[in-house]
Amino acid sequence: MLAELSLTHPSSHPIYAVKLDGFEGPLDLLLHLIQKEEMDIYDIQIAKITDRYLEYINLMEQLDLDLASEFLVMAATLLQIKSQNILPKNETKTDNSIGNQEQLVQQLLEYKRYKEAAQVLDIYAERRTTIYNRSSKLHSELDDTRSYEIKATLFDLLSAFKNINERVAQLDMDDEYETVEEETVTVEEKMEFIENQLETSDQLLFDDLFPLSSRKLDLIVTFLAILELIRLGKIVSVQTGLFESIYLVKATSITSTT
C-alpha cells in the first residue's frame, strides 16, 4: 500500500486525471485477486479477499484515478458479506443481488465464462494482431520466448507499481534526498519520454522506468503516464505469462507477421 503520499500539487489540484473507462471493472479485480492469492473460486476466503480488494481501492484513490462507482459498490458488498460470515447463521439475509457469498461466486463464474468466451472470439478475430514479434532488441529475459502471450491488465500494472513503491519505501531514500530541489516532471513530459524511448527500442521493461532512487512523486507521475498512454491506445502492456514481468510496446508495433 502507498504510505504518506502527497498526490497533489501545492495548489491542491490533482497531478493528472486518468479516466478508467477503458480499463477493467470490479469483477475483473476480484478475479485477479483470486488468481493472485491462488484461491478456489468456489471457496473464496472472503475476509482475505475483502482486505486485498480494499488495498487496491485505496491505492487507486491515492493515485487520484477516476474510480467508477461500481468499485465502491463492490467494496460495500464485500464488507457486507464479510460481516454476514461472522454473524449467527439465522440472521436475516438481505435482498442485495449479490448480498451473500454464494451469489457472489455465481456472478463471478458467469462473468468469468463470458470474459473467456469474449477472449476466444477476440483471438479468432485478431489472431495475427495479438502476436508480438521477437527481435534482437528484446530483453535478455525473453531470449527463449517467441512472442508475448498476455496483455497485462490494469490490476497487473497496479500490482507491479505497488511492489515497486514498497521496495522504494524499504530503502527509505526520502531522507537522503529531501534537501535536493528537483524540478517536478509532469505526466505529459513523462508520456513524451516513454514514447521517445519506444522510438529506439522495441519494448521497455516496466520496472526499468521506476529507479529505486526515485522520489515517490516521480513514481506516481510515471505510473499515471503509462496508464494514460495505454488508455489513449499509444502503447500496450504485455506479459509472457500470468503474473510475469510486464513490458511496454508501441501499439503500432503489433504486426500481422510472424
Instruction: Give the end of a domain, one of 125, 160, 178.
Output: 125
Closest CA to 151 of 28, 249, 22, 39: 249
Residue 1 domain-assigned?
no
Q: Are residues 149 and 222 in the same domain?
A: yes
Give 173's contacts (C-beta < 8 A, 6+ positions apart).
212, 213, 215
Torsional sign, CA 23, 25, 31, 37? positive
For residue range 112-124, list pLDDT tens digits in order: 888 877 766 655 5
Q: 253 and 213 in one domain? A: yes
Which residue has better confidence, 2 or 74? 74
- Residue 136 clears pLDDT 90, i.e. is over it: no
Q: Is residue 10 one of the residues assigned to a domain? A: no
| Over residues 1-26, mean pLDDT | 55
Answer yes or no: do 120 and 140 share one domain.
no
In the chain, which ranges are continuous DSSP H helix? Answer: 26-36, 46-62, 69-85, 101-125, 154-171, 174-177, 187-200, 216-231
Mean pLDDT across the chain, nearest whole number?
A: 77
List the domain range (segments joined by +) for residue 73: 17-125
Give percent of the chain above pLDDT 70: 68
Same domain, 110 and 170: no
Residues 164 and 54 in one domain: no
77 Cβ neighbours under 8 A, 6+ residues apart: 96, 98, 99, 104
Q: Which of 87-101, 154-168, 179-193 has the lowest mean pLDDT?
A: 87-101
139 and 120 co-located in one domain: no
In the predicted model, is pLDDT for residue 127 greater than 60? no
Among the candidates 66, 91, 125, a domain finishes at: 125
Q: Which residues contact 159 (CB under 8 A, 6 or more apart)?
A: 32, 36, 243
In contact, 25 and 71? CB cutoff 8 Å: yes
CA-to-CA distance for 115 and 25, rounded, in angstroms?
12
- Tell me, yes or no, whether 230 and 174 share the same domain: yes
Do 173 and 86 sit in the same domain of this protein? no
In a domain, 3, yes or no: no
More confident residue, 7 or 68: 68
**Does residue 60 lie within any of the structural domains?**
yes
- Of residues 237 and 6, more confidently modeled: 237
Q: Determine what percent of the chain falls in helix, strand and coil, rounding each to the nearest 5.
A: 55, 10, 40
Same domain, 60 and 110: yes
Residue 185 inside a domain? The answer is yes
Summarize the confidence of residues 163-184 as an average pLDDT.
Answer: 67
Q: Does residue 194 lie in a domain region? A: yes
CA distances from 112 to 13, 18, 60, 70 (A): 38, 26, 23, 17
- Of residues 138 and 234, the one with the higher pLDDT is 234
* Region 241-251 average pLDDT: 87
**What's the domain count of the chain?**
2
Residues 146 and 258 both lie in one domain: yes
Query: What average pLDDT does the segment 135-160 reach?
Result: 65
For residue 24, the 8-state DSSP code is -
Exposure of 46 by Cβ count < 10 A (0-12 exposed, 13-18 middle, 19+ buried)? Answer: buried
238 and 149 share a domain?
A: yes
- Alpha-carbon distance 117 to 120, whole Å? 5
User: Band of the pLDDT at 148, cuts 50, 70, 90?
Assistant: low
Poorest-confidence range of 61-75, 165-179, 226-240? Answer: 165-179
Q: What is the pTM of this model?
A: 0.72
Residues 136 and 119 in one domain: no
Q: How far apart are CA 85 and CA 101, in angstroms?
A: 9
> Last residue of a domain, which of 98, 125, 152?
125
Identify whether the C-beta of residue 234 lies closer than 8 Å to the C-beta of residue 223: no
Q: Looking at the domain assignment, is residue 119 inside a domain?
A: yes
The residue with cell 493472485 is 36
